[in-house]
Amino acid sequence: MAEIEQTEVDWLGRAVAQTQGLYPYIPGKPVEQLLREKGLSYAVKLASNENAYGPSPKAMLAMQQAVSEVHRYPDGDCTELKSALAARHDVQANQVLIGNGSNEVLELLIRCFAGAGDEVVYSQCGFIVYALATQAAGAIQAAVPDTADLGHDLQAMAAAVNAKTKVVCIANPNNPTGTLLSNDALQAFLDVLPRQTVVILDEAYDEFVADIKADSLQTLKHPGLVVSRTFSKAYGLAGCRVGYAIADARLLAVVNRFREPFNVNNFAQVAALAALDDGDWVMDKVAKVKAERARLEIAFDDLGVLGGKSYANFVLLKHAKAGGILNKLEDKGIIPRPLAGYGLNDYLRISVGTAEENDKLLNGLNAVLKQVEV
Ligand SMILES: Cc1ncc(COP(=O)(O)O)c(C=O)c1O
């Protein structure tokens, strides 16, 4: 294709202006890339908070059975999945919005409710997509500093809400800090907000706290409350890209106008439906992840590198030489996630793997710490 002279027409002007300083979401390094770069024969990615135990066998079977229908477009309304989710959460089907990952749901919501001149409030160490989606929407980022222990400072966030604030985003548990807010604290926060504020409560890791916290969907009250969940974490379907939000039907009717016609592919729909029906399998894997998380946190504490308590499927490492530790772990085929993009230069986020993967991590970390501390 012939290259267009930039001077010929200002064809990139608005897009360039709007994306100034917009840094793309940086995912964990792919395993294949590390194997190539380091000439290794084994590597494990502990950088994207996936479920290391994989998906439910029922979900895999459903996808295999769906292969012969791949020449057809998927159900654009996700009718079956929507009604299964509505039944699960005791809401109407029109109170469910399904997306290509909960990431799409978050972006749609922010794009729909915040535009030029509007503000979106979130915590500085809140999930990075809130900042990216706000900027992409042309809205103003109102990032609020966290508490000293890297939790949401709800008082400061409430104080940051003003007449221009259209959306507030909170991840609970939060990624990347792993912190958890109680429903009481959240309700007290919601009670002081203007009623028209859209509040996105991102519960991508909810299954990991389901035994210690009441279901927010049954507990929290606010007209503009949107609770988002995903099949990418506990359900082990990150590769399918399917997540959803529950909210007031009128609010979602508006968001639906921004949605692509066939945003959720058929494999994702059938896999999610089958996985929903295999709750025991999911909760068994959640229990395994939590047991392994506890083992890692004790080991990190013994090594003097525990970065805080996590309520999700990852652990936090804190060390003044976090960058050096990351490089040396990668030399050993272990891929953690750096958190410098959040201003957390001393931290690494490490997803909980299988027991064998975690053994490799701990062995590698023991050796690496000896190297960086000499
Ligand atoms: C807090 C949080 N929300 C949303 C997402 C997006 O997940 P997905 O798009 O896979 O549903 C993630 C992914 O890491 C996350 O950590």
Domains and CATH numbers, the chain: 13-53+280-373 (3.90.1150.10), 57-278 (3.40.640.10)
100 lines ligand 1 (CB under 6 A): no
Ligand 1 atom having least distance to the Cα of 230? 11
CA of 236 to the centre of ligand 1 (A): 12
Phi, psi of 127 (to 5 degrees): -50, 130
Ligand 1 pocket residue status of 243, Cβ below 6 Å: yes
Which residue is associated with the tokens 């997509």? 129
Q: Report the pLDDT value the prediction gives residue 277, as an integer from 0 to 100.
A: 96
Residue nearest to atom 6 of ligand 1 (CA): 103
344: nearest Cα among 145, 206, 106: 145
> Would the CB of 49 count as within 6 Å of ligand 1?
yes
Residue ID of nearest Cα to ligand 1 atom 12: 204
In this structure, what token pair is assigned to residue 132? 């990216």
CA of 191 to the centre of ligand 1 (A): 26
Encode the chain (374 residues) as per-residue pLDDT tens digits: 666 665 555 666 666 666 666 666 667 788 999 999 999 999 999 999 999 999 999 999 999 999 999 999 999 999 999 999 999 999 999 999 999 999 999 999 999 999 999 999 999 999 999 999 999 999 999 999 999 999 999 999 999 999 999 999 999 999 999 999 999 999 999 999 999 999 999 999 999 999 999 999 999 999 999 999 999 999 999 999 999 999 999 999 999 999 999 999 999 999 999 999 999 999 999 999 999 999 999 999 999 999 999 999 999 999 999 999 999 999 999 999 999 989 999 999 999 999 999 999 999 999 999 998 75
Chain center to CA of 269: 19
What is the atom index within ligand 1 of the atom nearest the CA of 173? 1
Whole-number pLDDT of residue 256:
94
- pLDDT at res. 20: 67
Contacts of 134 (CB under 8 A, 6+ apart): 110, 114, 120, 122, 140, 141, 167
pTM over 0.85: yes
Ligand 1 pocket mutation, candidates 103, 130, 169, 311, criterion most atoms within 8 A of CB: 103
Q: Is 101 in the pocket of ligand 1 (CB under 6 A)?
A: yes
What pLDDT, on the 0 to 100 scale, is given for residue 28? Answer: 74
Write down the pLDDT at residue 205. 98
The pLDDT of residue 29: 81
204 touches ligand 1 (CB under 6 Å): yes
Of 9, 322, 253, 311, the C-alpha closest to 109 is 253
